[in-house]
Amino acid sequence: MKIHAITPTDAAPNAVERRTQKPAPLRRKRALRLGAAAFLVLLAVLTASLLEVRAGSATVVTRFGDPVRVILTPGLAWRLPAPFETPLDVDLRIHSTSSGLQDVGTRDGLRILVQAWAIWKVKSDDKDVLRFIRAVQNQPDEAARQIRTFIGSALETTTSNYALSDIVNVDSKKVRIAQLEQQLQAQLNAQLLNSYGIEIVQTGIERLTLPAVTLNATVDRMRAERETIAAERTAEGKRLAAEIHSKADRDARILEADASVKAAAITAAAQRDAAGIYGKARASDPQLYDLLRSLDTLSSIVNPSTRMVLRTDAEPFRTLVQGPAPQESKETKQP
């Protein structure tokens, strides 16, 4: 059996070889770790540089608090990571608010209580979005409060152009609330769009009531109007009735005159015919004619309730007592 001794000079090369072989995998692991860290850092930077613009909203990119651009198209967009650039979302959806009851005056000096509503939104435009941010610091509640203030002042100036009868009236054709709402919307748009970047989509009158003094004045005015209308119609009816009566009286007088003329003509003709008949009857038999005429006279003056006391030898009763007078022959009358 042979035993070989290892001298230090023999073992040194192996140790050096082992030391030179170990750093290679360590460098690879370290390179992988550095690559992964760089990738993660790059991914984090890319993620921080992306922003999402949601539908119905706009994104304002601010650089150290100063707005630099406005993104209106929904989707993904790029920006510098914080703290260089920061996104700020602005809601572009429709909102609504109500003014509450406002005491306003009409053109005829009466007071009414009006409540109006408004539908509004931030206009989808770069300049208007920036106006909205600067005016109300992107706070919709503050914007609604400002809008209510503007509605109150706009109602005061708008309703002063209308009389109470243009707003409250039993005749729907005389009510001009639609024109009032259009004028109110135009005035609000002119004020809010230039100052706040807010667009008024629609306005309307939600509630309208009258104070006690105005209500009493309105009732008195309506009563006076009804009384005036009733008096006018009564006068018109009397005028028409007078015209009808006058026309009827005129027609009656015309008809009566025509009838009188016709009756006079008929009477004259009858009297003429009767005189002719009487003349022919008397010429044919004078005594019989006298008898019949006496009987006709009695029948015209005597009725069942008449009582008369006359001499029997008086006309026309003499004829009943003595009979007709004897006729003288023509031969005796001649000398």
Same domain, 105 and 175: yes
Where does the pLDDT of residue 333 fall: very low under 50, low under 70, confident under 90, or very high at 90 and above?
very low
**120 with 140: CB under 8 angstroms?**
no
pLDDT tens digits, one per residue of 34-88: 877 777 777 676 666 777 888 889 988 888 878 888 888 888 877 777 777 888 8
Q: Is there a domain that residue 328 lies in?
A: no
Q: Tell me which residue range forms the domain holding 67.
A: 27-90
Same domain, 190 and 248: no
Number of domains making up the chain: 3
With 0-12 CB in 10 A as exposed, 13-18 as middle and 19+ as buried, what is 241? exposed
Looking at residue 162, what DSSP letter applies?
S
Handedness of CA 80, 81, 82, 87 (dihedral sign): positive
At residue 120, what are phi and psi to the nearest 5 degrees?
A: -135, 165
CATH number of the domain residue 105 falls in: 3.30.479.30
Residues 98 and 102: their CA atoms lie apart, in Å, by: 11
Can you give the length of the chain in residues?
A: 335
Same domain, 149 and 236: no
Same domain, 195 and 246: no
**54 with 85: CB under 8 angstroms?**
no
Number of other residues whose CB lies within 10 A of the CB of residue 230: 10
Where does the pLDDT of residue 16 fall: very low under 50, low under 70, confident under 90, or very high at 90 and above?
very low
Element (H, E) at 133: helix 126-136
Residues 300 and 278: their CA atoms lie apart, in Å, by: 17
User: What is the pTM for the complete model shown?
Assistant: 0.54
**215 with 193: CB under 8 angstroms?**
no
Same domain, 112 and 205: yes
Q: Is there a domain that residue 293 lies in?
A: no
pLDDT tens digits, one per residue of 257-306: 889 889 988 988 888 888 888 778 777 877 777 777 777 777 777 777 77
Distance of CA 250 to the CA centre of its chain: 49
Same domain, 197 and 229: no
Q: For position 14, what pLDDT does the model report? A: 52
Same domain, 125 and 150: yes
pLDDT at 239 over 80: yes
